[in-house]
Structure 1
């Protein structure tokens, strides 16, 4: 599939920016899909197969789990993976509508691109609600998704636009990286689950370009002191994400241990909890930080001291 390229510098010529907005509209029109007609197509999830690949779930790192237990844990993680994307798209859609208003009486191409972006995010939220309904019907009772999307969005949107767009850009980049590097190559995953993230990826590719365009546009408005405060906001947002992941990892590990069908030793239970948390931190924080396109964009707009603050905040999370 053809995709646009992310902006190469902080302050782009207006003609180049307009061209990227226009190309995102063109891609949006060409790849647009429908949940029932194109993605679900009357199918159910295949619970004889894994949902998340090992590169994301890390279930293969626990040698004391047999193949069936690894498969079950990958399905639990996959259910949460979808729910976390649905949660993130709640605040992403709201922020896109907010920044789009700045184009409302000006660049109509940019406005259309962002309206399409917000519309697609609403569709993605519906897709992930469908995933939750379908998996809940097939899995034992007891699973809980703890974070409330509206409450999380309220916290996120209370931070500076620069920080919210930086976090959003990170999410969009790692979404693409996960699909290309781990999900697409794995032939052993549930076909429907794999298709959910294929179609999600197809629309997220242009979202990443728009995120970076708007992030760089916002950065151009800031002075050094404002940007420094925005970096602190970004650090606080990453810490908030980590708090969500810690709570959900504990809940998901407990759910797995309760439905796996056998008793685990205290040492094994501890390893399950640690592995799930490590996997979630990799999925939603580490993989984005290490994505070259995101790190390049971030390094264009922060100085060395700010980079060191971010690294210090990440160290206890990613070790």
Structure 2
């Protein structure tokens, strides 16, 4: 056990507050700084777009693919933070007359999530000013938020913790080291990562706190909720991947064969499943925490629900590497 893991919950909440105060940033002053997107740069790195599975794309088409996926990447986080902020307001009420350090940490989390929503709204406007017309982000944000918020707190916090851990991994392992990315887009996720690092800690603390309240029956029901949430995420990814593939094909500047079009559509969906589901559930920090909270039959049930998505994605990667 390392020093951070050995800290008491109150110490971890306090450390999140200290870091939040120290790294606090402003959208205009620190992130956008009057800039626009330079479309000569990629938005997302190849490790996230998995564009290498489409070797028939030229350099310009690979860049457009990264821009389309990057635009959706920002919009997906805007959608997620819609329900995360609402849930944290609810969670914060549990601390209102109790641990005031925990209350401040959760309220700072909520305020920062509202700021992130505004940042991603601004990014969508900037992307729309320079990218070709016709892009659509299809998931209905409020309807999705209402669906998610109808599930158990345990399941929502599990999903949220997974997403916020994986955003850190995506930035540190893929974005931070790629100098070919749009400086503005890269800065968006640099500053986003700085605050999400604290949010993931608070997610973990609140998830553990909620888990301590559950008996085996309630935890089984929570697992069912989490399975439903993952299935709903996959449904949204299928919807958006289809729209994004069509947008890419319409704006790539040339005609693709039927086989190439099919590979673009399949590749878009596989990349999205990797970004939002597979890379999350396979992330060691998250999987270790999840495994510590559930028993073997519950783990097998969750694994069985994920297997079709994970296996299809991994099989597609292997086929495209042959």
Bin the TM-score by the shorter chain: over 0.9
Q: Report the alpha carbon displacement of residue 140 of structure 1 after superposing the two structures with TM.
A: 1.1
**2:262 paired residue among 259, 270, 291:** 270
Moved over 2 A (4+): none
Cα distance per residue 1:56-80 (max 9 Å; x no partner): 0011221100000000010000000
| Structure 1 counterpart of 2:283 | 291
Q: Report the alpha carbon displacement of residue 45 of structure 1 after superposing the two structures with TM.
A: 1.2
| Structure 1 counterpart of 2:33 | 41
Q: Secondary structure at the match of 1:263?
A: coil
Cα distance per residue 1:136-170 (max 9 Å; x no partner): 01011111000111110000000000000000000
| Structure 1 counterpart of 2:273 | 281
TM-score scaled to structure 2, two decimals? 0.95
| Structure 2 counterpart of 1:86 | 78
What does residue range 204-283 of structure 1 map to in structure 2 within 5 Å?
Answer: 204-283=196-275
Inter-partner Cα distance in structure 1 for 2:133 and 2:179: 29
TM-score scaled to structure 1, two decimals? 0.96
1:105 equivalenced with 2:97 (yes/no): yes
1:181 equivalenced with 2:209 (yes/no): no
| Structure 1 counterpart of 2:43 | 51
Inter-partner Cα distance in structure 2 for 1:256 and 1:178: 23
Q: Secondary structure at the match of 2:94?
A: helix
Q: Secondary structure at the match of 2:164?
A: helix
1:19 equivalenced with 2:21 (yes/no): no
Inter-partner Cα distance in structure 1 for 2:281 and 2:13: 25
Inter-partner Cα distance in structure 1 for 2:218 and 2:8: 27
| Structure 2 counterpart of 1:74 | 66
Q: Secondary structure at the match of 1:103?
A: coil
| Structure 2 counterpart of 1:156 | 148
**2:189 paired residue among 191, 197, 207:** 197
Cα distance per residue 1:243-269 (max 9 Å; x no partner): 000000000000000111111100000
Q: Secondary structure at the match of 1:20?
A: helix
Inter-partner Cα distance in structure 1 for 2:181 and 2:53: 18
| Structure 1 counterpart of 2:115 | 123
**1:166 paired residue among 158, 163, 167:** 158
Inter-partner Cα distance in structure 1 for 2:258 and 2:293: 46
Q: Report the alpha carbon displacement of residue 187 of structure 1 after superposing the two structures with TM.
A: 0.6
Gaps of 5+ in 1: 9-14
Inter-partner Cα distance in structure 1 for 2:84 and 2:191: 18
| Structure 2 counterpart of 1:141 | 133
Q: How many pairs are equivalent?
A: 309
